Amino acid sequence: MVMGGGAIGVLGFMGFRLASHFLPRPPRKVLVKEKVLPAPGGVKVGDGYFLVRLSGGQLLVLSRRCPHLGCTVNYQPSQNIFLCPCHQSRFALNGAYLSGPAPRGLYELRWEKTESGLILEIPG
Ligand code: FES
């Protein structure tokens, strides 16, 4: 059987799409202006991240991706914890594991302070 150039091109494209599905994606960079950083004891909920200012003033940047199966974790201000809606894993404000099926606490994200604010790296 002889394949034309079009069929080879389609197969090549499909192979590329399949391969790119398994390749790691580069992290997304997010700028957070200094003026929106939380006060001590406060939490800012972002797209893929939590910014936490601990009562001692230390700033933490945590991933919202649950370490169990990857659901998006929410902040529960009434209990001052992070809660995963999928299987109810609970995490302390410093990201530490409290309960549920998650095998560990929330992941800390890379960030750097610049003149414009904080630049966060959100994994792809
Ligand atoms: S995905 Fe979060 S507890 Fe299962």
Average pLDDT over residues 58-69: 97
Task: Give domain status of residue 60, yes or no.
Answer: yes
Q: What is the pLDDT of residue 2?
A: 57
Residue 18 lies in a domain: no
Q: pLDDT averaged over the chain? A: 90
* Band of residue 22 on the pLDDT scale cut at 50, 70, 90: confident
Measured distance CA(52)–CA(50) in Å, rounded:
6
CA of 98 to the centre of ligand 1 (A): 13
Does residue 44 lie in a domain region?
Answer: yes
Q: What is the CATH number of the domain that holds 111?
A: 2.102.10.10
What is the reported pLDDT for 24? 80
Residue 12 lies in a domain: no
pLDDT at 66 over 80: yes
Using the mean position of ligand 1's atoms as its centre, give its distance from the Cα of residue 90 in Å. Answer: 9
Q: Is 89 in the pocket of ligand 1 (CB under 6 A)?
A: yes
66 Cβ inside 6 Å of ligand 1:
yes
Which residue puts its alpha carbon closest to atom 3 of ligand 1?
87
In a domain, 99, yes or no: yes
User: Percent of the chain beyond pLDDT 90?
Assistant: 71
User: For the chain, how many structural domains are there in total?
Assistant: 1
Which structural domain, as residue segments, surrounds residue 87?
25-122
Q: Does a structural domain hold residue 113?
A: yes
Instruction: Assess whether pLDDT exceeds 70 at residue 19.
Output: no
Q: Report if residue 118 sits inside a domain.
A: yes
pLDDT digits (tens, 9 = 90+) for 34-52: 888 899 989 999 999 999 9
C-beta of 97 in contact with ligand 1 (< 6 A): no
